[in-house]
Amino acid sequence: MVTPSQFRPLGLLIVSMSLAVIFITQKADAQLIVEMKLPKTHYLSYESMVANVTVYNRAGNDLILGGPKGKGWMTFNVYRDGQLLSPRSIGGKFETMLLKSGRSITKKIDLNKLYPVSDYGSYAINASVYFPPQRTYFSSKKIRVNVADARAFWKQSFGVSQGRDKLASFRQFSLHEHRGNSSNSALYVRLRETKGTKVYCTFSLGRFINVRKPQATIDSQSRLNVMHMISPRLYSHARVSSEGTFLGNYYYRETADTRPSLVIDSAGIVKVVGGIAYDPTKPPEQKEKPRSASELPPGLISN
């Protein structure tokens, strides 16, 4: 007959082995920590989806990050409506590099350039980093995002010179209103081929209040000019190059009699008439307080 005291060594052995397994598992899980962040969860179709991926080295020694069989050491798992998507290219630009013990590295990646995430739908995305010593991957938590599109309420085509003895190509600017998961609408610009499927860019021009319809025109240098309201009585004049580069914006404020608007002359030069220039970085002017009777020069009486 086996007494309870004879079970104790066996029980202690099982407990010790269990703790050892837990310790080893936790240690293995802590070799690399991968975190991925996206600035938002709702995107317009063809908009850049820039992920910030941070990798922490908790292995206790320096690591050479490199992928298996010449592949990149970072990859992504991208699911659209539950279906795993294939990347546009294998490997990416994640070349072999040294990550010192206890240090971290952050990479900024536009997922739209690596994966077909411009179609409408719901996506689940996470980043995975290859760990050579164990020949395995460590992954970040999944982030869910939604991609939608909005009908263009303005569009205009223009020609782009391809040089002497070559036919000009034609591109098209369009404007879209998109709200996403915010209570405020945003104004988006998209540049694409007039004939064809190529989209050069889609990005936000900022907050948009549709109390007044935006003005848009293309100047003599094929630059898009947009005037739109961003808050009560305040407007933004944004400019975008024919290549889709954001060239900055100027701000204007309504006056008691006029509001800012765009006009284009016979030479194709766009000007702003009405309103008054406004600098949002300049602190508001403080009204001078009336002086007290004690501060007035002798002989003057305060009303």
The CA-CA-CA angle for residues 229, 234, 235, to 5°, reads 45
**178 and 210 co-located in one domain:** yes
Report which of 231, 213, 168, 157 is spatially closest to residue 190, judged by C-alpha positions. 157
Do residue 99 and residue 189 come from a single domain? Answer: no
**Is residue 199 one of the residues assigned to a domain?**
yes
59 and 48 in a single domain? The answer is: yes
The whole-model pTM stands at 0.78
Domain match, 123 and 227 both: no
Of 77, 80, 74, 137, nearest to 109 (Cα)?
74
Band (11; pLDDT cuts 50, 70, 90):
very low
Q: Are residues 121 and 197 in the same domain?
A: no
Retrieve residue 44's tokens. Answer: 């317009």
Residue where one domain finishes, among candidates 126, 147, 168: 147
Give the model's pLDDT for residue 90. Answer: 57
Position 2 pLDDT exceeds 60: no
Question: What total number of domains does the chain contain?
Answer: 2
Q: Are the CB atoms for 78 and 117 separated by under 8 Å?
A: yes
The pLDDT of 253-275, averaged and rounded, is 95
Specify whether 112 is located in the same domain as 176.
no
The confidence band for 69, taking pLDDT boundaries of 50, 70 and 90, is confident
Q: What angle do CA 268, 200, 216 make, to 5 degrees?
A: 35
129 and 56 assigned to the same domain: yes
Residue 48 inside a domain? The answer is yes
Q: What is the pLDDT of residue 71?
A: 83
Give pLDDT tens digits for 40-63. Answer: 999 999 999 999 999 999 999 999
User: Of 147, 178, 209, which residue sits at a domain end?
Assistant: 147
The answer on pLDDT for 154 being more than 50 is yes
In a domain, 253, yes or no: yes
Percent of the chain with pLDDT over 90: 66
Residues 181 and 214 in one domain: yes
Block residue for tokens 């100047």:
219
User: What was the pLDDT predicted at 297?
Assistant: 54
pLDDT band at 3 (very low <50, low <70, confident <90, very high): low
- Evaluate whether residue 6 is within a structural domain: no
Residue range(s) defining the domain that contains residue 174: 150-278
What pLDDT digit, counting tens, does each position of 210-262 carry? 888 999 999 999 999 999 999 999 999 999 999 999 999 999 999 999 999 99
Say if residue 169 is in the same domain as residue 273: yes
State the CATH number of the domain containing residue 139.
Answer: 2.60.40.2970
What pLDDT is stored for residue 128 in this prediction?
A: 95
Residue 69 φ/ψ, nearest 5 degrees: 55, 40
